[in-house]
């Protein structure tokens, strides 16, 4: 079992990584309040893990809420179903929410915890690789709006994150590969040696070799915990975590969140960010090639869907949270492992890259 | 012009009280960001003050959103209309929201500001007495749920509060009187001398004597600012501000927020709290009499509506945010000016008071 620490003063919490955590009676008890529990999950994860988690929590006073699976349900309407459940059971501020599932369940349940009675406790139990290495850590919670992804949300840190690596065994290949996109991101923004390790071990990782998996998850979580501790509310350095996301969110919004997975959109977005970085004279052509090769080897897309044009991109990117004062802020790369957040780049380079996809 | 200060470190802000603030070009400018403005108001206030406020803000980039007036519109659905407006105009994190209206507009606009892109700036411009002395100060924002008032919300402090006492001239008597309930509350929970001043000056206050009004508003805001500075997130002392509110919220929820005004429900709730305080042996019968007399003199109700029974009360109070660990926490009075927040009182006294209304 590995234990990492997100250092945020009174809001600090552990990330616990191990096999069989969901069946271990010692997992939840130290982090539960006295006001009962609501486990929120979706109809894909529920048949796999819900009864096990409820048994492990062991509280007599444990409710369950099973939501439909999919990014298209990450809405205010679905959020209100969580409030319905809590209020029908007369839950007070002592309740603890447990988010059992992928990024959608984690973001939505976390936002419900942020808002219910102006803030209650919650625990993240991510069951997808993407949620384990990214969305479950750091306290960003949100739902989508038809005009933009994650536009309605809050910063609300969990009390703990439990990553049971056994849950990855049941993850479909496409979802697993989508999670690899965020793992590659950490190499690109923070750790050249990790990027090189990924180049050497991508096949073993795709084969879900357990040792490789734990190394990838632990390294990703450690890098994320460090960035979040330095800049909880994204007033500065935290924005590097958005590498590829301004492009990726535009792709997802253009598709109505229904076609590509988040990790797939981010993979294509990272290649676009690398190409813009090269076009403005920062990243070498060789490094763009390495990045494209690793993402290709992972089985992820390296270009956006054919039906999204340059004007779609620019319009959708302009409303992204990274846009300020009228200019689109981007995370670009000086080199692999060395990101820069900037609005001060050659707009023509951005247009050139977007029109040649 | 009077200027008070809510001391909350990096989240500190001024409360500015004066005549004609809404027509003064110097009012808004220091508190606006670079990302444009959205003024949110309702269809009662809009014809009176909206064009004046928009002219005073003077920004070319100033949007307006006029919502229907009434507590029954303080919902997630109405909240989403604010997000629609912001996203249709492609507002970024630099936008500033301005809440122009009473408590409903302030709470809803503040919550929209708390959630939009995980938090943007907002300014409170309260136009009712109740909002001026209570809800606009302190950062509590929320919307209602069909099963409970203010159940979905956030702590999100404004950048500034502008109280233009001229706006009270247009306030209907019933709304003005409802605001007096919260003014009386400050005397009861924090300031015996202010309570005595109210006993002596209630008729002048009801006649809207300007000097009396300013004294009442300034004293109320100063007391509230002190309590909020000491306990921003209501982990302790701030709960005294809820005197009468656990009873009052039960009344409002039972009526579907449609019949009594908030201040009216709180007035009856304060009398109930005083009577329970006497029933447990704390407050003297004479003080209950003084409280009842002042609330009567103000023209406010001293008993709940006839159709809400004891079981309704107990059930609705149990889900109130002040309920923890299964017991209903109440704000009671040891004497006038000396409140105590407790769940450790004789339940029979509570039942006795509720069954004799």
DSSP string, A119-146: --EEEEEE-SHHIIIIITSS-EEEEEET
Are B181 and B134 a contacting pair, CB within 8 Å?
A: no
Q: Which chain A positions have a beta carbon within 8 Å of B321's beta carbon?
A: 92-93, 117-118
- For residue A189 the two structure tokens come to 């923004």
Q: What residues of A are labeled active site?
A: 118, 140, 182, 224, 234, 238, 242, 245, 249, 262
Query: CB atoms < 10 A from the CB of B121, how many?
Result: 21
Over residues A247-289, the pLDDT tens digits come to 999 999 898 877 899 999 999 999 999 999 999 999 999 999 9
pTM of the model: 0.92
Are A19 and A165 a contacting pair, CB within 8 Å?
A: yes
* pLDDT value of residue A117: 96
Query: Beta-strand (E) ranges in chain A?
Result: 2-6, 13-18, 37-42, 62-67, 96-101, 121-126, 140-145, 148-155, 160-164, 323-324, 327-328, 330-335, 338-342
Residue that has been written with the tokens 């209630």 in this structure: B202
User: What is B205-265 written as a DSSP string?
Assistant: HHTT-HHHHHHHHHHHHHHHHHHHHH-TT-SSGGGGGGTTHHHHHHHHHHTTTSSS-HHHH
ipTM of the complex: 0.90
Could you tell me the residue ranges of all domains in chain B?
A: 2-170, 173-355
**A119: contact with B, CB 8 A cutoff:** yes
User: From the CA of A303, how many Å to the nearest CA of chain B?
Assistant: 26
Cβ contact A35–B325 (<8 Å): yes
Q: CA angle, corner B248, sides to B247 and B249, nearest 5?
A: 95
CATH architecture of A2-170: 3-Layer(aba) Sandwich (3.40)
* pLDDT value of residue A357: 74
Q: What percent of chain B has pLDDT over 70?
A: 97
Counting every residue, how long is chain B? 357
Stretch 120-149 of chain A: residues touching chain B, C-beta under 8 Å: 140, 142, 145, 147-148
The answer to whether residue B110 scores a pLDDT higher than 60 is yes
What is the enclosing helix (H) or strand (E) of B352? helix B347-355
Sign of CA dihedral A111, A148, A269, A229: negative
Question: Phi/psi zone of residue A86: left (φ > 0), alpha (ψ -120 to 50 degrees), beta?
Answer: alpha
DSSP code at position A323: E
- For residue B228 the two structure tokens come to 């909020």
Of B153, B323, B325, the CB nearest to A34: B325
b vs e for A290-316, b when ≥16 Cβ sit within 10 Å of the residue's Cβ?
bbbebbebbbbbbebeeebeeebbeeb
The answer to whether residue A110 scores a pLDDT higher than 80 is yes
**CATH of region A173-355:** 1.20.1090.10
Nearest-CA neighbor of A76 among A115, A103, A37?
A115
Over residues B154-186, the pLDDT tens digits come to 999 999 999 999 999 999 999 999 999 999 999
Are A354 and A313 a contacting pair, CB within 8 Å?
A: yes
Counting every residue, how long is chain A? 357
């Amino acid at each position: 079992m590995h234990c990492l620490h997100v250092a945020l003063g009174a809001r600090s919490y552990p990330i616990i990584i191990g096999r069989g955590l969901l069946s271990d009676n010692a997992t939840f008890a130290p982090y539960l309040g006295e006001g009962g529990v609501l486990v929120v999950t979706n109809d894909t994860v529920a048949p796999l893990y819900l009864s096990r988690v409820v048994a492990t929590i062991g509280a007599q006073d444990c409710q369950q809420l099973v939501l439909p699976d999919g990014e298209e349900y990450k809405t205010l309407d679905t959020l209100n179903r969580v409030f319905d459940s809590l209020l029908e059971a007369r839950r007070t501020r002592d309740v603890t929410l447990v988010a059992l599932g992928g990024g959608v369940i984690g973001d939505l349940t976390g936002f419900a915890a942020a808002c219910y009675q102006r803030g209650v406790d919650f625990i993240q139990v991510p069951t997808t690789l993407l949620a384990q290495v990214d969305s479950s850590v750091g306290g960003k919670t949100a739902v989508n709006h038809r005009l933009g992804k994650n536009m309605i949300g809050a910063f609300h840190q969990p009390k703990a994150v439990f990553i049971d690596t056994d849950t990855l065994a049941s993850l479909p290949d496409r979802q697993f590969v989508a999670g690899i996109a965020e793992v590659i991101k950490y190499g690109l923004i923070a750790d050249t040696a990790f990027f090189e390790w990924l180049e050497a071990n991508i096949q073993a990782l795709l084969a879900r070799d357990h040792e490789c998996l734990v190394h990838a998850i632990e390294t990703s979580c450690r890098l994320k915990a460090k960035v979040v501790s330095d800049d909880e509310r994204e007033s500065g350095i935290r924005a590097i975590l958005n590498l590829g996301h301004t492009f990726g969110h535009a792709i997802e919004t253009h598709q109505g969140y229904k076609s590509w997975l988040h990790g797939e959109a981010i993979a294509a977005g990272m290649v676009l960010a690398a190409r813009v970085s090269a076009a403005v004279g920062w990243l070498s052509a060789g490094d763009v090639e390495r990045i494209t090769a690793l993402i290709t080897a992972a089985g992820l897309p390296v270009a956006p869907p054919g039906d999204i044009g340059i004007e779609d991109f620019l319009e959708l990117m302009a409303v992204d949270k990274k846009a300020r004062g009228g200019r689109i802020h981007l995370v670009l790369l000086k080199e692999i492992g060395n990101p820069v957040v900037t609005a001060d780049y050659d707009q023509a380079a951005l247009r050139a890259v977007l029109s040649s996809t």
